[in-house]
Amino acid sequence: MCGITGLFKESGIPLPEAHAQDVVHAMTGALTHRGPDQGWTQLYAASRGGPPVAALGVRRLAIVDVRGGVQPALDETQRWVVCLNGEVFNHGRIRQELEAEGVTFQGEGDAEAVAQLIARVGVDTALDRLVGQFALSILDRQTRRIWLVRDRMGQKPLYWTLTADGTLAWASELRALRPVPAVQWKPDPAANQALLLWEYIPSPMTPWSGIHKLPPGGMLTLTDGRPTVHRWYVPPVPVSGRGGNHARWAKSVRGSVQVAVLQRLRADVEVGGLLSGGLDSTFICALAHEHLSGALQSFGVSIRSPGFDEGPHARAAAASIGTFHRQVPLDISDLAPLSAAVFAHMDEPLADSSLLPTWHLMSAVRDAGLKCVVSGDGADELFGGYPTVLAHRLVPVLRALSPLAGTILRARPARQGGVTRDYMARRMLSGLSLPFAQRHQVWMGAWLPDELSTPHTLDQFIQAEAAVSTSAPDGCRALHLDQRMYLADGVLVKVDRASMAHGDEVRSPFLDHRVVELAADIGLDHKVSPPGPRAIRRGSVFQGKRILKTAAADIVPEQTRARPKKGFGAPVGPWFQKMNPRALEAIVDTLADVIEPSLLRTVIAEHRAGTVDHRRRLWSAHVLAGWRTSKWGRAP
């Protein structure tokens, strides 16, 4: 069930019934790509009658209870009405427990299980019991109350706005709010800054100042027409140190991830796997393959550009674990039509270049006849896969070495092949002098704050998000901040939009909240460490995800476990070097209000000459300019 919409006002929707039905029908129709199998819209009055207080819509991707699964779903008293985008993986257990208590079910779908559970234990307790990836609207017809809820880690999106007449409107994507009368579409300059700085727009911001998105683990309620948002779930801050036995922790990780994989294989359709050839995806696919009666169908992208192609690693991993593997080719010549297709679809800009190969891959998954796959997303943010985690621990040393390192790097030519060590080192130097929160986002982002021509206004935002982990060491804080921002508002947005655009669902076992909480309890020294002499000889400067490598030792090949961390992206650097200069000049003109034209022209010239690698700056600028000039960047 992959697209929900709705309108609500406790005193009655201020629209004629036929008009309200038409509006929510148009809203829901805008999400057909998310749920191509079925769709429903329905008006609901309060239990005591009167005008409709809610108009609800659902588009469905049928994965569980394919022939049933009707939504909106009601409990047996007809008081509670639930719309669900996503999957609740323990709905079978919930149903068994409620049936033992005498509850009667109409179908086998998970949305009905949620409605029946809420009727028995209430909203808060029910949410604590759910295992899954979901966005929910929950209507209580008796008290005329509404809840909007997003899952713990933010795997499924939910946007909302309150119109001038007090009507609450919500949808799984921004596009579905366009048919709603009286919605204010006023651009938010801070969102432009965020996209250029960080490559994504963090919740609760959107490109429009009057429209918001729930944060991961967020809940919205209305009291006397006033919305209140709080987080019903916040992941625990990871601990530091080396407490506990490494082998025992690894055994616990193996067991917890295995349970999460098994739950995500439960479906009434075939489930495949995304396999890049790295540790995370290989571990997940190996566990999934072990528990299927036939071979797991796995899919990977082979990017035909030096420094980007992980195809040989994926094929080797697939051969080792025995999956039926498809490698999807992607050439630089494909980037122009692919980016055009992405820009035409994306109603909210996202400047992660890996969106392009992910989009291409999900198209291939759908063409192969599958609409559900498992992935390795989340492992880096839980188990320390990024060099920044170690770099934060070494800041005093790095600051002392920075003058020498800067001299060496300035003497080296720029390299365009993938996410190179030179690129990471240059970025690291640019943020060393900053406080933790700003330093981390500079390390993870594209443009620098002082490179924007508009006043920088996001320091308070990032400091507030980092404040949750103030008492922890910086390495642990980096993991926690990445889970809240880069993972939820960057990686998972990419995966959701690329998959849902093709009617595919991606399930991520590492993001099971029990795995998340276990990972937080494991000391940082079990996750990351400086490289030893052997690793340095292999060219590795960082040893991450140590505990995960131990947990996967018997089913993931040693050559896969030993591979250095490699970022996933598209070869947009070489592409920009060959791009028509007039197309690049158009970016300069479109963004003149946020980036000083002379600076952007210098960035373009340096990149085209090969003296500095500006791929991330240019890609984020290209994305923002493309979005601004698309239909999505204009008010309806």
User: 494 or 541: whose pLDDT is higher?
Assistant: 494
- Rounding to the nearest 10 degrees, give the CA dihedral for residues 35, 39, 45, 51: 110
422: pLDDT confidence band, cut at 50, 70 and 90?
Answer: low
* Residue 194 confidence (pLDDT) above 90: yes
Task: Look up residue 176 and give its DSSP letter.
Answer: G
Structural domain of residue 309, as residue ranges? 243-562
Same domain, 158 and 250: no
405: pLDDT confidence band, cut at 50, 70 and 90?
Answer: very low
Would you say 162 and 148 are in contact if contact means Cβ atoms under 8 Å apart? no
587-593 long-range CB contacts below 8 Å, 24 or more apart?
A: 587/618, 587/621, 587/622, 587/625, 590/624, 590/625, 590/628, 590/629, 591/621, 591/624, 591/625, 591/628, 593/453, 593/454
Question: What average pLDDT does the segment 261-270 reach?
Answer: 95
CATH number (domain holding residue 476): 3.40.50.620
Same domain, 509 and 455: yes
What's the domain count of the chain? 2
Least confident of 143-147, 249-253, 432-436: 432-436
User: Of 562, 589, 607, which one is at a domain's C-terminal end?
Assistant: 562
Q: What is the mean pLDDT of the chain?
A: 91
pLDDT of residue 433: 78
388: pLDDT confidence band, cut at 50, 70 and 90?
Answer: confident
199: pLDDT confidence band, cut at 50, 70 and 90?
Answer: very high
Rounded percentage of the chain residues whose pLDDT exceeds 90: 75
C-alpha closest to that of 636 among 29, 178, 212: 178
Model pTM? 0.93
* 249 occurs within a structural domain: yes
* 610 occurs within a structural domain: no
* 612 occurs within a structural domain: no
pLDDT of residue 487: 98
* Residue 139 confidence (pLDDT) above 50: yes
pLDDT of residue 406: 47
Least confident of 365-379, 438-452, 587-601, 612-626: 438-452
CATH number (domain holding residue 215): 3.60.20.10
Same domain, 97 and 219: yes
Same domain, 129 and 252: no
User: Of 533, 562, 591, which one is at a domain's C-terminal end?
Assistant: 562
